[in-house]
Amino acid sequence: MKAVHLPIPGLMLLEPTVHHDERGFLYESFNQRTFNEATGTHYQFVQDNHTHSAKGVLRGMHYQTQQPQGKLVRVVRGAVYDVVVDIRRDSPAFGQWYGLTLSESSCTQLWIPPGLAHGFLTLSDGAELLYKMTDYYAPQHEACLAWNDPAVGIVWPLQQHGIAQPMLSAKDQVGKALHEV
């Protein structure tokens, strides 16, 4: 597994070794020792999540105010534009965002350290994501940064993918501004 360091401290794209032949492919999607060596971290994962979203669904920008969760995210069907925002007040990248396309064909995974808000826009007709989490879901600490906060300035590829308006949950429609985080 190769770890590619991205512009936000601690954020990494993980590229597994994929074995292809005429039957298809095989790769090791997770190995604790390999993950620790590739990322230089010692996080343990305690929860797995699986989500399915239709085209145009935008989920985010989610985080927990207490019990912050590190996330190892991969797409197993379809494609998404995956985005993180650094909301760690002591980080040199505070308020900065980074986005990239994750898809089933790339087999890559995104390591999102605790302290980042996370969200994605479904680009394909449908997409399924698997998340490994470093802490448990705590609904009492759940929070949302506004997906369209002008202070952050995320550029979502809506028009490029024929999406007039993203589909948002009720909580995602009322996300907080960065200065409130």
Token representation of residue 144:
């949302």
> Half-sphere exposure (CA, 13 Å, Cβ side) for 157?
17
Question: Which among 62, 162, 80 is positioned nearest to 121, based on CA atoms?
Answer: 80
Active-site residue, selected from the candidate residues 52, 98, 131, 179: 131
User: Residue written as tokens 């590229």?
Assistant: 15
Cα 174 to the center of its chain, rounded Å: 20
Active-site residue, selected from the candidate residues 62, 63, 81, 118: 62
Known catalytic residue: 62? yes
Judge whether 172 and 60 are in contact, CB under 8 Å.
Answer: yes
Judge whether 80 and 70 are in contact, CB under 8 Å.
Answer: no
Token representation of residue 7:
């512009």
- CA–CA distance, 171 with 58 (Å, rounded to integer): 12
Active-site positions read: 62, 131
